[in-house]
Structure 1
Amino acid sequence: MTHNEKLLNALMQFKNSAYEIRELWEHTDSRTNSNLCDDYPFDNDFCEVVEKIGDWVMTQNSLLNQNKTN
């Protein structure tokens, strides 16, 4: 497995984990939800962050796959 393939695999795992966290967070109780907001490190709502992660990973997927064919 090449370095780029490993990177792409890690990015896909990152994207999938972000989507899973979003889904789980949506079903937390109010205390857990409040705790998750403590020291929240992003300027945007987590749903927006997840969508941006997904878009970014898909862009990288396209770019890395382009490099494979060149």
Structure 2
Amino acid sequence: MKPDLRSRPADDELAEVVAYHEGDMEAAIGTLLEDIRHLRRQLALAEGAMGRGMARGWRPSYDRD
């Protein structure tokens, strides 16, 4: 049976985030939530600066589909 290689990078990233926070899962989650808020603000700014014709009517989505 082949191992599922698609899940390995996510597992590695998770381990790195937890290690960075010295095993404190609440701190790791807090940092990730702050990153999400920051990226949403950046997306809103980009959307405001982007002309309608620039992306042929495409609008960014703030949530997963």
TM-score by length of 1: 0.48
Question: In the alignment, is residue 5 of structure 1 matched against residue 27 of structure 2?
Answer: yes
Match of 1:48 in 2: none
Q: Taking CA–CA contacts closer than 8 Å with sequence separation of 6 or more, which of the two structures ends up with the larger relative contact order?
A: 1
Residue 27 in structure 1 maps to residue 44 in structure 2: no
Runs of 4+ in 1 over 4 A off after TM superposition: none
In structure 2, the residue matched to 1:16 is: 38
**Structure exhibiting the larger radius of gyration computed from Cα positions:** 2
Root mean square deviation of aligned Cα:
2.3
Percent identity among equivalent residues? 3
Q: Against the structure 1 CA distance between its residues 41 and 22, is the aligned structure 2 distance closer, same or farther, given a 3 Å change threshold?
A: closer
Q: Can you give the 5+ residue segments of structure 1 that lack an aligned partner in the other structure? A: 43-70
Q: Normalization by structure 2: what TM-score? A: 0.51
Q: Pick closer, same or farther for the CA change 1:21–1:33 going to 2, 3 Å.
A: farther
Residue-pair matches, total: 40
